[in-house]
Amino acid sequence: MKRMMSRAAGHPWLEIIRRQLPLALLTILIVALAVPGAMLVAPALTGQRPNPEGTDSTAPAWQQVPRDLSLPQGISPLKDSAPVPWPDTLAAQLNATLKADGGGSFTGVVQDAATGQVLFDRGGSEGRVPASNMKLLTAAAALRAIGPDQRFSTKVVSGAEPGSVVLTGGGDVLLGAGESSQDAVMGHAGLATLARLTVKSLQENGVTGPVQVRLDDSLFTGPALNPTWSLDDVAAGETAPLFPLALNSARYDPAVTTGPRPQDAAMAAAEAFSAQLTAAAAAAGLSVTPGVERAKAPASGTVLAEVQSATLRQQVDLMLQTSDNYLAEVLGRLAAVASGQPGSNDGATATVYKQVQDLGIPADGLRVADVSGLSLGNQVSASQLAEIVRAITSGTEPGLRAAIGGFPVAGLTGTLGNRYTDASTERGAGLVRAKTGTLNSVIALSGYVVDADGRLLVFSFIGNGLDPGAAGNRTALDRTASALASCGCR
C-alpha cells in the first residue's frame, strides 16, 4: 500500500482517486485479483486464441505484484506468441529454491500448458505420497463420471408401513439443518425445507395418524472407513465414517472445521430431519413418533418431498478450496456409482484410477489407496499431477474446466489464503493458483500460473520424507511457485 501511495504522489490524478475512492478502489482491486482462473486463461482453454502478435517484454498490469496495481487494467488474453521459458534458465531458478529444510527431498515438474513441453523435471516420474494433491485426481474423475452440472437429491419416500416415511440419501453431505439456501453450497438443500414439503404431501395424501421416520442410507456399501487410514486421523476429525447424506460435510457446526465429527453422520442428519418434521407437523395438527430406524425405501414408494444439492462443479470448488477430505471421499464414491461400480472404498479408488487412464495419462506406478489423500499408501508422480492440471486447464474435455475455479489463489483464497505474504514469496501473490497438500512428512503443491511473459504453465512439486514441522519446506514450495509467476526465463 505504501508503494501504491508513493506512486500516486507522482501523479496528481492518481492522488485524487486514492483520496476520494479508497474503498471502491480496494474493492475493484480485490475483484480483479480474484477473477476466476478460467477467465484468466480462457482463450488458451477454449482454443479461441487471438492472432499472433509481437512479444511485449513489459509485464502486463495483471501480472504485477498485487500491491503495485494502482488502477485495474483488465485481463489481457494469452498469446500464442508468448515465449516459452528456456528450460536451463528455469531450472537454475527452481533448483535454487526447491530445497528441503532438513531431511527428505522434493521432486517436481513444470510443463508448458499449450504444448505439453516439459520445461523442468526433477524426478518427475517417481511415485510419491501426494497428500491432498490426490483430490485433483478425484475432482477430474468425478467431473468426468458424473458431469459438472449434476445435483444430488435427498428424498422422503412413503414407507412400507402406513404413516411411515423414509429419508433417503442420494449423496448430498452438505445438507443444512434449516431452510434451503439457494445461494450457498453448504446448506444449499435444507432439512427444514424438506420437512415442510413432506408435511404438505402428507396432508394432501390424507395422512392423519402418527408419522414414523425411517432412514435409507444404502447408496454406499462396504466399510464406512478406509482401512488404510490412521485411526488417530479419524479421532482428530480429519475425516469420519462415510454415508450418502450428512449435515455440514459431517460436521456438528459448519463454522467449525476442526475437531471430532459425528461417527454416524447419516443418523445425525435423520434425527435432525425428524426434529424439523416434528415442528412442521405440529403446526399442521400431525404428530411424529420419536426415534429413527434404518429401513430401505420400498421400490414402489411415492416420493413425498425432495431437495437438491448444489451442482457438482460447486462442490468440487468447495472440496479443492477447503481441502475437505470427507467431501472428496463422498465424491469418489458417487463417481463410482455413476460408473456402475459399488459406492464403496474399492469402487471409488478403482474409478479414480480408471478415469486417470481414460484421460490418456500414463498410470505407471500410480497407486490409489484412497481418494482424499489421507492415506500413506497413495503413490502419484509429479508428472501425473502436472498432467492432471494440464487436462483441467488446457485439455480437450470442456467438462474438466469446471475445476479451474477451485484452485486456491495465493494470498487470497482457500488453503493459500494466508500464504505468500513475505518478501520471498509475494511475487506469487494473486498469481499462483494451486492445490495444497500436507501430511506429517509430506508437502505438495500442484497448479498453474501465467508467467511474466504471458505463458500458461502447469506444475507439481512434491516433498516426501521431510522433517515434520520444518517451516522451510512450505516456504520452499511457495518461493518456487513464485519464481514461476515472475519468470521471464529467456
Side by side, the strands of the sheet bearing 118-122 are 118-122, 105-112, 456-464, 442-450, 433-439
60 — pLDDT class (breaks 50, 70, 90): low
pLDDT of residue 209: 80
Q: Are 316 and 406 in contact (CB under 8 A)?
A: yes
**How far apart, in whole angstroms, are the C-alpha atoms of residue 387 and residue 362?**
9
pLDDT of residue 414: 96
**Of the candidate ranges 65-74, 147-156, 354-363, 417-426, the one whose mean pLDDT is the lowest:** 65-74
CA torsion sign for 301, 306, 308, 309 is negative
478 — pLDDT class (breaks 50, 70, 90): very high
Q: Are 477 and 443 in contact (CB under 8 A)?
A: yes
Residue 147: exposure state from Cβ atoms within 10 A (0-12, 13-18, ≥19): middle
Q: Residues in the chain, how many?
A: 490
Side by side, the strands of the sheet bearing 164-168 are 288-294, 211-216, 164-168, 153-158, 303-308
CA-nearest of 3, 26, 33, 131 to 450 is 33
Average pLDDT rounded to a whole number, residues 47-69? 44
Average pLDDT rounded to a whole number, residues 308-317? 98
Average pLDDT rounded to a whole number, residues 116-122? 98
- The residue with greater pLDDT, 72 or 125, is 125
pLDDT of residue 58: 54
pLDDT of residue 10: 42
pLDDT of residue 348: 98
Residue 228 has pLDDT above 60, yes or no: yes
Select which of 132, 381, 441, 460 is catalytic.
Answer: 132
Count each helix (H run) and each strand (E run) in the chain, helices first: 15, 10
pLDDT of residue 7: 35
Active site residue 132: yes
pLDDT of residue 81: 83
**Of the candidate ranges 6-15, 276-285, 363-372, 411-420, the one whose mean pLDDT is the lowest:** 6-15
Contacts (Cβ under 8 Å, ≥6 apart) of 358: 144
DSSP 8-state symbol, 408: P
Q: Considering the entire predicted model, what is its pTM?
A: 0.85
pLDDT of residue 78: 72
- Percent of the chain whose predicted confidence (pLDDT) is above 70: 84
pLDDT tens digits, 14-36: 343 344 444 343 344 344 444 44
- Percent of the chain whose predicted confidence (pLDDT) is above 90: 81
CA-nearest of 120, 135, 197 to 165 is 197
Active site residue 135: yes
CA–chain centroid gap for 283, Å, is 40
Select which of 79, 135, 155, 435 is catalytic.
Answer: 135
Residue 253 has pLDDT above 70, yes or no: yes
Residue 15: exposure state from Cβ atoms within 10 A (0-12, 13-18, ≥19): middle
**How far apart, in whole angstroms, are the C-alpha atoms of residue 220 and residue 342?**
7
- Helix %, strand %, coil % of the chain (to 5): 40, 15, 45
pLDDT tens digits, 209-222: 899 999 999 999 99
Select which of 158, 274, 309, 323 is catalytic.
Answer: 323
Mean pLDDT, all residues of the chain? 88
pLDDT of residue 489: 83
DSSP 8-state symbol, 285: T
pLDDT of residue 20: 44
Contacts (Cβ under 8 Å, ≥6 apart) of 422: none
Active site residue 81: no
pLDDT of residue 61: 52
165 — pLDDT class (breaks 50, 70, 90): very high
